[in-house]
Chain A
Amino acid sequence: MPTLELLLGGTSERDLTRLSEYRAIGGYTAIEKARAMTPDALIVEMSTSNLRGRGGAGFPIGRKASLIDRKSGKPKYLVVNADESEPGAFKDRQVLAQAPHRLVEGCLIAAHAIECKDVFIYIRGEYLTEYEILAAAVEEARTAGLFGDVRVTVHRGAGAYICGEETALLDSLEGRRGQPRPRPPFPPVQGLYAAPTQINNVCTIATLPTIVNMGAAEFAKIGSPSSPGTAIFSISGNVVRPGNYELVLGTPMRELIYDHAGGIADGRELKAVVPGGSSVPALTPGQIDVPLDYDSLAALGTFFGAASLIVVDDRCCMVQLALRSTKFYMHESCGKCTPCREGTRWMVQILERIEAGDAELSELDLLDSVGVGILGRSLCALGDFAVYPVHSYLKHWRSEFEAHVHLGRCPFEGGSSIEGIVAPSDLRHDVGVTA
């Protein structure tokens, strides 16, 4: 089980939240190297590394940076997406809490590449402790004179999953309701305050110091050629040792689940793996011999996503899982576009009927078809995120859905591991709120 720690390296031995400790392991030397390079050369280096975005979409960072119109008269902005909110994901949180300077140094490198003077780190509001650590690190680095003429502002969100979507994040950062924007225009052309903007995930940016230090060509050799480098994999649910594991991309999923995470807890059987955070299609136990990289997971019809695996054992009712998942996306739908706003609520209603044993068989098809109506037609990917898992549960565990219909009740008879789980949306007392 070889591990290579690029993002979390040094965190188990040292307190890397302190500038001196981070410097002791070579911290802030990469920014010096980067600043000795021209922005163009630095962007070439980023492209050569073939580093792909760790936020979910997997877009190569070099390509993103090269799309920034650096010649426009407008300011350029770098925005770090630290609004980690995908159920199952907690990898950014660990970087923020344990290696904040690595992120800050990454910001300075990216800022130099795109000739930006203003960096915003948008951190989810719930990460209060992490915010305090990050803000202190930023202040320490600034006081130490590491910023030059760059300003780094840590901006706290206030509880809205949708703000992890990059254009919604921009609207939120501009002081609006965090709702996605139509694209085009894309952020590199018209982003924050309509100026060219680079947006990247915490882990993506925090990888930059390593790339600059080891050289992009060397970095590109790590792991899978199509997606080099390491990723912090968050694994949770019914495993013996849930947590974060930084692994080279391409590590087999089975190895992560059974070796690193110790296998299925309580001697139960594996039933499903949701591999990229709760928004992606689930895999069956027969599908887990897959390398954890973008392309291999795509080949199975799912996504690398947020590198976050939710492991589900055989005690769980898949209708309940679908219902709980959909309630989340309904709760987080921003309300801007029709299919997501209306469709997620409708899906919840259908799933509630199925779980209660009140549905007819045709409603399984209705559920599927409502999903089809959302898929690819909503303004942003949140609509898709609500549908992907449900469609996959319906596909792989259809008999379980059908059993609810045939029996007129949940076949788990109250014994499902998530039986009775209540979601915040069940209690919103501001339903029909009048201002």
Chain B
Amino acid sequence: MSFTAEVQKVAKRYPDPRSAILPALRLAQAGHDGWLPREAIEEVAAALELTPAYCFAVASFYDMFHLEPVGRHTVEVCTNLSCALVGAQRVVDAFEQELGLQPGETSADGEITFRLVECLGACGYAPAVAVDHRYRHRVRPEDAAAIVEEIRADA
């Protein structure tokens, strides 16, 4: 199914097709290596009969849309209160070490993006790390090496 057809199918679920903009941006992002280049925004705009500026405005509001290239894999460490209280910063440090990346950076080979995120809703199982959007609970600094190895194995 073409991108437009797929978006328009999703849009039918809503009383107003504009409601499908988040699903459409998500689909577009999936189709463009995990981020939203200009063409991706334009595709969404065309499919939903909105302006590219409107779609860009919406995309830029939400943290899960990326307006710059990202790696094929993401490591996201929560540093909000509950995780911070039980050592999230040491987990951050461990990933920095293992990945050789500062938070916000993507590895030179384009494989891994390392980010910090706000509360993931895993506070009872802190520190929490999302690897490719799947949560890892009670992550200890010493777990970072194994996690990175696991990601690299998939690369």
Do A's and B's CB atoms come within 8 Å in the complex?
Answer: yes
Binding site for B on A (CB under 8 A): 75, 84-90, 92-93, 118, 124-129, 151, 153, 155-161, 172-178, 193, 234-238, 242-244, 274, 278, 308, 310, 312-313, 316, 321, 324-325, 328, 331-332, 334, 417-424, 426-427, 429-430, 433, 435
Q: How far is the CA of A159 from the CA of B117 in the complex (A)?
A: 10
Q: How far is the CB of B35 from chain A (nearest CB, A)?
A: 13
Q: How far is the CA of A162 from the CA of B137 in the complex (A)?
A: 25
User: Which chain A residue has the least Cβ–Cβ distance from B102?
Assistant: A427
Q: How far is the CA of A417 from the CA of B84 in the complex (A)?
A: 8
In the complex, are the beta carbons of A129 and B134 less than 8 A apart? yes
In the complex, are the beta carbons of B85 and A237 less than 8 A apart? yes
In the complex, are the beta carbons of A177 and B125 less than 8 A apart? no
In the complex, are the beta carbons of A278 and B118 less than 8 A apart? no
CB contacts (< 8 Å) of A424 on chain B: these are 63, 79, 115-118
Q: How far is the CA of A126 from the CA of B14 in the complex (A)?
A: 22
Given known contacts A84-B121, A155-B22, is B65 in contact with A237 (CB within 8 Å)?
Answer: no
In the complex, are the beta carbons of B81 and A321 less than 8 A apart? yes
Interface check B82, CB cutoff 8 A: yes
In the complex, are the beta carbons of A161 and B23 less than 8 A apart? no
Query: What is the 8 Å Cβ interface bit string for chain B, positions 5-17, against chain A (1 contact, 0 not)?
Result: 0000000011111
Interface check B19, CB cutoff 8 A: yes
Q: How far is the CA of A417 from the CA of B23 in the complex (A)?
A: 39
Option from A88, A90, A155, A156 in Cβ contact (under 8 Å) with B81: A88
Given known contacts A128-B134, A157-B62, is B123 in contact with A418 (CB within 8 Å)?
Answer: no
CB contacts (< 8 Å) of A427 on chain B: these are 102-104, 116
Q: How far is the CA of A409 from the CA of B39 in the complex (A)?
A: 50
Q: How far is the CA of A27 from the CA of B57 in the complex (A)?
A: 43
Q: How far is the CA of A399 from the CA of B134 in the complex (A)?
A: 42
User: Which chain B residue has the least Cβ–Cβ distance from A242?
Assistant: B124
Q: How far is the CA of A244 from the CA of B82 in the complex (A)?
A: 14
User: Which chain B residue has the least Cβ–Cβ distance from A417?
Assistant: B85
Q: How far is the CB of B96 from chain A (nearest CB, A)?
A: 10
Option from A172, A193, A242 in Cβ contact (under 8 Å) with B125: A242
Which residues from 63 to 107 on chain B have a C-beta closer than 8 Å to any C-beta of chain A?
A: 63-65, 67-68, 79-82, 84-89, 92, 102-104
Known A-B contacts: A86-B119, A278-B119, A424-B118. Give 12 more (CB < 8 A).
A90-B123, A126-B117, A129-B134, A157-B22, A172-B22, A174-B19, A175-B22, A234-B124, A236-B124, A237-B85, A242-B125, A421-B89
- Closest 9 A/B residue pairs (Cβ): A159-B63, A175-B18, A158-B62, A236-B123, A159-B64, A236-B82, A87-B119, A175-B21, A177-B61
